[in-house]
Amino acid sequence: MKTCFHTTPIYYVNDVPHPGHAYTTVAADALARARRLRGHDVFFLTGTDEHGQNIERTARERGMDTQAYCDMIAARFRQLWYKLDITYDRLIRTTDEIHKRGFLELWRRLKDAQTPQGPAIYR
């Protein structure tokens, strides 16, 4: 059986989670649970996007190191998903080493890609 992949948006950490974050995550979780009950192999991913000028600005305004600020807000997302009993398989953070390696591999493949007309334009 093939694995069914479910994901939420990766949420920006420029502020704490709000009802919109909860709504989309609960909806994705309900779909993942329903598919699991029907015997499907489901991998449910959620996460946080920890890059961007707004995040840097917000951390600076609060007198915090950017990574420490991201760690604090990511923890709030984890706490909320725990309270809501969200059944995710993985919470990815764009500052995670595995995410960085995956992105660099994707970028390498894009640079090496060939089109029917020859090399891709990413060179």
Instruction: Look at phi and psi of residue 39 and say left if phi exceeds 0, alpha if psi is from -120 to 50, else beta.
Output: left
- Beta pairing partners, 45: 7, 90
With beta carbons less than 8 A apart as the criterion, state whether 6 and 43 touch: yes
- Tokens (6 digits) for 37: 């009950």
Write the pLDDT tens digit of every residue in 99-109: 999 999 999 99
pLDDT digits (tens, 9 = 90+) for 5-41: 999 999 999 889 999 999 999 999 999 999 999 999 9
Q: Given this model, what pLDDT does residue 72 score? A: 96
pLDDT at 121 over 80: no
Average pLDDT over all residues of the chain: 92
- The Cα–Cα gap between 9 and 46 comes to 7
